[in-house]
Amino acid sequence: MQQVKQIFAPATEDVWIAFNYDYAELGRLTDYHVNIEQDHRVTSLDIDVHLGGSAEGGYETTILTAPLGHMGDYRFSIQPQDIFSDISHLLGSKHIKLGYPEFDKELFIKTNDTERTAQLFKDEFARKVFSVLSGYWFGINRNKKTGLYQLELRMQRGVTNTLLLWEIYYSFHEVLMGLTPDYDPAISLVNQEAMEEVAHA
């Protein structure tokens, strides 16, 4: 059974300290699972790095998720420009621009509310982080277990550098705060676990 650590962070700087402490204690962050509670919001971080043996291939993933509750019909997603996003554009998917030239140039953006999405990425540092990252998808989707909406960042590599990991978390949290300005503190990790039990019943 995987061990899930808990981080209670008054500020994002405390998350940086916790990442470094865990790295020093564990020696690596290749099988790292943690729930981070900051500003009454809970973000789950899962890093899995499995190199595989001679007869099997390995894989790497880094995934951040946070519950959103009821989101209405608002949706957005971003991912780096690549051959697949180019194909999607050719097949008719509209390439949205948010008004941040460098950000818009590097990313394939989908949303049904351009103005609201632009506000989510108003933090310049967060935009820089998402502009230079590769191999990821970031947006709103449904949790397959609970059926509830969540913010999710999926990367096809294990991010084990603590500084980069903190930069990614900071940027994720900035967007999460913009999505949930009236978040109910009662929606805690305990309640999320209870909802998952209901979903499995």
Per residue, the 3-state secondary structure of 128-153, as one string, reads HHHHHCCCEEEEEEECCCCCCEEEEE
* pLDDT reading at 178 higher than 70: yes
Q: What is the pLDDT of residue 185?
A: 55
Structural domain for 193, as ranges? 5-200
What's the pLDDT band for 194 if we cut at 50, 70, 90?
very low
Q: Is 4 left (phi over 0), alpha (psi -120 to 50) or beta?
A: beta
Please tell me the pTM assigned to this model: 0.85
Number of domains, the chain:
1
According to DSSP, the residues that pair with 49 across neighbouring strands are 60
Q: Which run of H or E residues covers position 176?
A: helix 162-179
